[in-house]
C-alpha cells in the first residue's frame, strides 16, 4: 500500500476507547484527520475490517495493519493512522479522547483531554488552534 498526503491535518489525536485499544492492540490509537481532498491511495487496495459499525475501517491487505478510517457522515476527512506513513516523526497528538476508558498508566503529550469526544461545537476552535502549529506530513 502507498498513500499520498497533500494537505495538513485538521487535527491530531489519541483515542483511548476500548474499541481503539482492541483494534490497535495498544493502549490507544493515533489519528490525523486529513481533508479528503488531500488524501490519496497511490498503490494497493485496502480492505474493510475491524470492529464493524457505521464507520469504515480500512486495513492493509498484506499485513492487516489498521491504516485509516472514514467516519460515517463525515466524508470531508479521513482519520489516518500516522504510523502508516514513511516518516511518522512529525506526529504528536493534539487532543486525546475517551480518557474515561484509558488504561491507568497510559499518558500522551496531548494539549486537550476529553472523557469522551469533544462537543461538536468545540471542533472549530480546536482545528483553528491546531492550525497554528500544523505542518504537512512527510
Domain range list for the chain:
2-131
Q: What is the dihedral of CA 34, 40, 43, 44, to 10 degrees?
A: 70
pLDDT level of residue 52 (50, 70, 90 thresholds): low
Count of other CB atoms within 10 angstroms of residue 120: 7
More confident residue, 135 or 94: 94
- The CATH code belonging to domain 2-131 is 3.90.1590.10
Cell of 27: 493502549
- Whole-model pTM over 0.85: yes
Cα dihedral 91, 23, 5, 87 sign: positive
* Over residues 60-71, mean pLDDT: 93
Amino acid at each position: 500500500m502507498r498513500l499520498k498526503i497533500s494537505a495538513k491535518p485538521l487535527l491530531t489525536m489519541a483515542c483511548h476507547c476500548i474499541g481503539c485499544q482492541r483494534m490497535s492492540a495498544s493502549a490507544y490509537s493515533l489519528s490525523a484527520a486529513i481533508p479528503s481532498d488531500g488524501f490519496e491511495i497511490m498503490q494497493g487496495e485496502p480492505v474493510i475490517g475491524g470492529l464493524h459499525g457505521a464507520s469504515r475501517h480500512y486495513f492493509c491487505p498484506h499485513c492487516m495493519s489498521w491504516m485509516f478510517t472514514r467516519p460515517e457522515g463525515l466524508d470531508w476527512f479521513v482519520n489516518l493512522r500516522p504510523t502508516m506513513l514513511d516518516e511518522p516523526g512529525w506526529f504528536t497528538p493534539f487532543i486525546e479522547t475517551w480518557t474515561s476508558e484509558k488504561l491507568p498508566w497510559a499518558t500522551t503529550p496531548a494539549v486537550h483531554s476529553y472523557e469522551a469526544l469533544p462537543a461538536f461545537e468545540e471542533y472549530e476552535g480546536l482545528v483553528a488552534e491546531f492550525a497554528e502549529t500544523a505542518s504537512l506530513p512527510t
